[in-house]
Each structure stands twice: as structure tokens, then as C-alpha cells.
Structure 1
Amino acid sequence: MEYIVLDLEWNQSPRGKAGERRGMPFEIIEIGAVKLDESMTVLSQFDEVIKPAVYRQLHHKTKEILHLEMEELAKARSFKAVAEDFFRWCGDDYMMCTWGSMDLTELQRNLNFFWVKNSMKKPLLYYDVQKLFSILYEDGKSRRSLRDAVEYLEIEEDIPFHRAIDDTLYTVKILQKMDWEAVKQYVSVDYFRPPEKKEEELHLIFASYAKDVSRIFAGKEELLSDREVLSSRCYVCGRSLRKKIRWFSGNGKNYLCLALCPEHGYMKGKLRLKKAERGGIFAVKTRKLVSEEGAEAVRQKKKELEKKKREKKQAV
């Protein structure tokens, strides 16, 4: 197993939303990547700019941040040529590592738009180094910028930020500082290509929580009628649990529930509904054991929502 640490730079319509091409909010103009072995030793690098084919003028922010000129990009190769070479360079057995989750989404959007084969595995599991940094050094929820993380770890800032290969090299330095054994279980799931069949659904168990990713359903009603999606199972002992508070929602997109395992205590369930890129809807469910205090927070959340509903009804 090798690790591909990836960073992308992209351009967008200089006219904003008014000039945005459907299916292409961001056009990739640079790929930077570093290949690591299992001991986090650098094996090789990939670095190339790409000739724009959709947005042929640089957005002023892109130009300001990257210090790139269109004249330089005009001499570059096409996205298709560069992307195909990039995946050949990646090889067959690798795990992607990125700072945040956006790069893989935009890479796959560009692959689709330019009709380039997506050779990455499905389901696509990867390492979000930004999240790993938070788990290891902070609260697991906050998200620092790459520069802030570099400063926190007192890594020497000997190259500029904001070019693809430079940001990739900083991400590599952060990985090399980490206690990899402590965080390597925390893989992230890319949602650009969610499961399409029941057999493809994901059920991942980590040290302190579990994550389930459902297949794509035609609509919300069908999804919320599925017993597996709504099930509450203890991820420690595998027991099916009776809910103390059934699934409820304040916005129709995020749902909470509370169940009780007779052996391991309260378990909070969180269900997030997401639109699939090519239509339909799927669910990402997390299950986490919580204390009495955590259980009470769910109870209070439901009471607050019920109170708001009553007040809204009375105001009509």
C-alpha cells in the first residue's frame, strides 16, 4: 500500500455564477501530488499545470492567490492528458490523502466533465489529513487551515503556500509528524459516488463511533421507509436496540434518535440525508455511545423542536 498525497488548484468563471458552466463549478488547472510508502517516506512527485478549456480567463482571486498567468497555462497540456498520466503515476495499490474533502469531489467532477475514466476505487475511502490533525491534536470537530496546522506543529515554512505541489509538501510534513498508528483507522468516505446497491452499502466501525452509508434511493419517502436505514444497532455488541426517542428532525435533512443498549448504555444516532450527484438521495448515519449528559442533550433538543412547533401552530 502506498499513499498519494494530493492537492489541486482550480479556476472558476470570472463572471461568478452567471458564467458558470453546468457540471463544472471549478476547473482544475494544477495537480500536485507526492507518493509515500507505508513509513511515510517520499518515493516520487507529480506536478503539472493544465491548459483551461472551460474558463479561459483567470478569476481575479485565482490569479491573486496562485500568481499564475494565462500565458503560462496556455502552453500546458489538456486535463485529459495530465489526468491520465497522473493515474498511471499513482499505480494500482494506493490510498488518497488530502487536506479536507473538496479535492476529490472536484477531481471527479472534472473527470466526468472531460470524459476521463475514473480509475479510483469504489467505494472511495481516503484520509482527510485535516480531520486527522483535529482528532490527534484538537477536539476532532474543528478544522484548521493548512497554514495554521503548519504553524501549530512548528514546521519550517521554507516554501510558499497555495501552489498545488507546495501545499502537498506541507501536508506530507504534517503526516510525517503525526502518530500514524493512532489515527490510521479513521478513514473518510468520499460521497461523490455513493453505493448504488444494497450489497455496496458501507458499515464502518471506529474506536468511538460507527458510520453507515446507504445506497441511493429514488426519494426521501422511500429512504425513510427502509428498516436498515432507520435501525439502531449497538456497534460494540451488535445488538438491535429499542429506541428511547424515535428519529426526529427540525429541518428534514438531519435526524437524531436515542437508543439504549442494556450492556453499553445510551447510543445517539444521527442521520444526514444527501443528494447524489446524478439524482436520488442517500443517507449517512453515525452511531455513537453517549453519557447520560449526552442522552439528555438529545431529549432537550426534541423538547425544543416540539415547543417551536406548538408556538408556530398557535401563531397561525
Structure 2
Amino acid sequence: MADIKQMIFFDFEMLCSDNGMAYDMMEAIRLGAVKYDLETESITYFDRYIRPENQEPLSDFCKALTGIDDQDLVGANDFATVFEEFLAWVGGIKKSQYFSWSPSDLTRLKIDAEKHEIPLRTITKIEKRYIDFQAVFKKRVANNNVSVEDALALYGLEFSGEKHHPMYDAYNTLRIYLQFLHEPVQSDLIMLKQFILEDELTSFEKEHLNQILAAHIKFDINLLVNQIRDVYRLRDVKKLFKPINRIVVKYENVIMNRSGIFTDENVRHAELLSTFYHELLQSYEEHVSYRSKIMILNEYLLRPLHVITSK
């Protein structure tokens, strides 16, 4: 894959109805995008209305939701023409990384591209370089699929530009990305509140927040250890995976320690918890392969966790 020289953030507005509409019929009616040059940090913009094949008047619901009126679409080009203009504006598929706030925009692109007989290889090149940034943000910062506005608010920022305008949605997604990229400490502090500490984090002092974090890790591990037995029927072991995984996911970003604010001890304890989970999965799979009826949890699986709770 060629070196990435620019990032493309894009967003579609689509046909819609308050009576419901099959997704494949929700044709794109506006494409907005921003291009961020990694070397110069310059931003350029793209905004086009798209004339859909469905020529029925837009519903009042759709007009209110998208901010688009029938007159906006009368002189617009069809999807194939707008997409050709978009590719010319991009200036090189292979040197670009593509982002949107939810995968629905990529899905829309794929459906409409097929409808308009755009070569599959072109869409495949984009898809290979595509990132659902909402999913990344959920996993690394927010713990939920939040809106663009709510993601900005987590950083103390307000939406910039016109609401329900795909170009401004794309631009504000870029703003969130740049905060995430260049403000790892702030991102990890938000993550702590969203995943683990909720309203407890009243001080951003490193030693204090690590003390609170250590107490949470110890509490969760102690809760886990007290609930685990030595022997299980194999069919009951699967019931352990979901609650243990929920705890492991809470501390994934502590292990990553992208900002470097977490102590080595907290990172190590989070790693021990993750290791326990994956070794339990492996042991379960081995027992299944041997058609065992029961599963005995070996002491070596639990020993690292007992060390933490005994401190």
C-alpha cells in the first residue's frame, strides 16, 4: 500500500422517510468531504448535491432532517458524475486514508456505486483504506457510539458550521480526529471517566488518578476471584466469558497507555487480567477438543490475580 499523504473525511445525506425506507433505496443526495494534507496541514473542502434516480418530491421529514429542498436537486448531477468529481478532487486514491463517522457512509458509497456501475476495483481501493472513526472513538475514548456533537463536547468543543450539512459533519469529524491524535492525555482522561471512574475523577494529578485507578482494578479483580470456582461443568464455563470480557475491555486502554500517564504497576495489573481471560479461553478450547465434561481451573491461572488482591 502506498504511503498515506492525506486524509479524506466524508459524509452523505440520503433520501429518507418517517414512514420507513429500505436502505438500498435511500440514495445519496449530497456528498460533503474535507481533505487534510499531512505535510502542510492544509484543509480543502468538497460539497455537491446529487440528483437521485427517485424523482419523487422530498418528504417534509427528509427536508427537515437533511436541510435539503427539492430545488437543490433539480440541477444537480447524478451520482456517477459527482463521484467522478470527488475522485478528481481527492487527487489519488492510493495516497489517501478515508474516514467517516459510522460505516453507513461506506455502505452508501458501495450501494450507489454498484447502482451506477462504477468499477468495483475503485470502491475496493477506498474500502481497503477506510476507517470507521466512530468505532475507534468508541473503543478508545467514549465507550459508546456518540454523535459528532457529543464527541466534540467531550473535548469541550462546539460544532463548527451548519448542522445537517455533510461537509461540516466531515470537517467536525476531522476536528475530533485531530484532538484524539494530538491530545492523548486529554483523550485518556476522558476515557477514564467514560470507562472506569465516572464522576470520581476530581483531580488530574497523575499520582492521585493512578491511586483511584489501582483501587478500581483491585476491586474488579477481587470481585472476579471471589466469584470463580475451581471446578465447572464445561457447558457452564462459557457463562464466565462475557462478564470477564466486560472487565477486560474496561482496562484495554490502560494497557495501551497511549498518553503515558498510567503507572507501570497499573498497566501490569491490567495486563494480568487480560492474560487470565485469554488463557481461560485457551484452556476452555483445549477441554472442548478433548470432549471433557468438566473443567478444572488450574492454580497458575488464578495465582497472578490472587497476588494483586492480596496487596
Q: For 1:193-204, what aligned pairs fall within 5 Å after superposition?
A: none
Per the TM alignment, residue 61 of structure 1 is displaced from its structure 2 partner at its CA by 2.8
Percent sequence identity over matched residues?
Answer: 24
Equivalent residue for 2:14? 10
Question: Could you tell me whether the CA contact under 8 Å between 1:10 and 1:30 is conserved in 2?
Answer: yes
Structure richer in helix, relative to its length? 2
Highest RCO, 1 vs 2 (Cα 8 Å, sep ≥ 6)? 2
Equivalent residue for 2:108? 106
Question: Could you tell me whether the CA contact under 8 Å between 1:12 and 1:55 is conserved in 2?
Answer: no
Q: Which runs of 4+ in 1 moved over 4 A?
A: 293-299
Equivalent residue for 1:131? 135
Alignment of 1:77 with 2:81, yes or no, is no
Provide the C-alpha distance between the structure 1 equivalents of 2:111 and 2:160, rounded to a whole number of angstroms.
33
Equivalent residue for 2:147? 145
The unaligned stretches of length 5 or more in structure 1 are: 183-244, 251-255, 257-288, 300-316
Provide the C-alpha distance between the structure 1 equivalents of 2:55 and 2:175, rounded to a whole number of angstroms.
33
Q: For 1:1-316, what aligned pairs fall within 5 Å after superposition?
A: 1=4, 2-12=6-16, 16-17=20-21, 24-38=24-38, 41-90=41-90, 91-92=92-93, 93-118=95-120, 119-122=122-125, 124-139=128-143, 142-179=144-181, 290-292=274-276
Per the TM alignment, residue 43 of structure 1 is displaced from its structure 2 partner at its CA by 3.6
User: Kindly tell me: are residues 178 and 10 of structure 1, through their superposed partners in 2, closer, same or farther at Cα, counting changes over 3 Å?
Assistant: same
Q: Report Cα offsets for 1:192-237 as digits up to 9, x if no partner.
A: xxxxxxxxxxxxxxxxxxxxxxxxxxxxxxxxxxxxxxxxxxxxxx
Residues paired across the two proteins, number:
196
Provide the C-alpha distance between the structure 1 equivalents of 2:137 and 2:155, rounded to a whole number of angstroms.
10
Question: Could you tell me whether the CA contact under 8 Å between 1:13 and 1:55 is conserved in 2?
Answer: no
Amino acid corresponding to residue 64 of structure 1 in structure 2: A
Equivalent position SS for 2:97: strand
- Compute the TM-score of the two structures, normalised by the length of structure 1: 0.53
Equivalent residue for 1:222? none
Per the TM alignment, residue 40 of structure 1 is displaced from its structure 2 partner at its CA by 8.1
Per the TM alignment, residue 12 of structure 1 is displaced from its structure 2 partner at its CA by 3.4
Provide the C-alpha distance between the structure 2 equivalents of 1:124 and 1:152, rounded to a whole number of angstroms.
30
User: Kindly tell me: are residues 28 and 37 of structure 1, through their superposed partners in 2, closer, same or farther at Cα, counting changes over 3 Å?
Assistant: same
Q: Report Cα offsets for 1:218-267 as digits up to 9, x if no partner.
A: xxxxxxxxxxxxxxxxxxxxxxxxxxx79x999xxxxx9xxxxxxxxxxx
Equivalent residue for 2:288? none
Per the TM alignment, residue 96 of structure 1 is displaced from its structure 2 partner at its CA by 0.6
Equivalent position SS for 2:24: coil
Question: Could you tell me whether the CA contact under 8 Å between 1:11 and 1:59 is conserved in 2?
Answer: no
* Structure number with bigger Rg: 2
Per the TM alignment, residue 56 of structure 1 is displaced from its structure 2 partner at its CA by 2.7
Structure richer in strand, relative to its length? 1
Provide the C-alpha distance between the structure 2 equivalents of 1:39 and 1:180, rounded to a whole number of angstroms.
15
Amino acid corresponding to residue 169 of structure 1 in structure 2: Y
Q: Report Cα offsets for 1:75-111 as digits up to 9, x if no partner.
A: 2111111111111222232111111111001111001
Per the TM alignment, residue 172 of structure 1 is displaced from its structure 2 partner at its CA by 1.3
Amino acid corresponding to residue 25 of structure 1 in structure 2: M
User: Kindly tell me: are residues 112 and 293 of structure 1, through their superposed partners in 2, closer, same or farther at Cα, counting changes over 3 Å?
Assistant: closer
The unaligned stretches of length 5 or more in structure 2 are: 185-233, 243-272, 285-311
Per the TM alignment, residue 178 of structure 1 is displaced from its structure 2 partner at its CA by 1.5
Amino acid corresponding to residue 46 of structure 2 in structure 1: F
Per the TM alignment, residue 4 of structure 1 is displaced from its structure 2 partner at its CA by 0.7
Equivalent position SS for 2:29: strand
Question: Could you tell me whether the CA contact under 8 Å between 1:35 and 1:43 is conserved in 2?
Answer: yes
Provide the C-alpha distance between the structure 2 equivalents of 1:97 and 1:44, rounded to a whole number of angstroms.
15
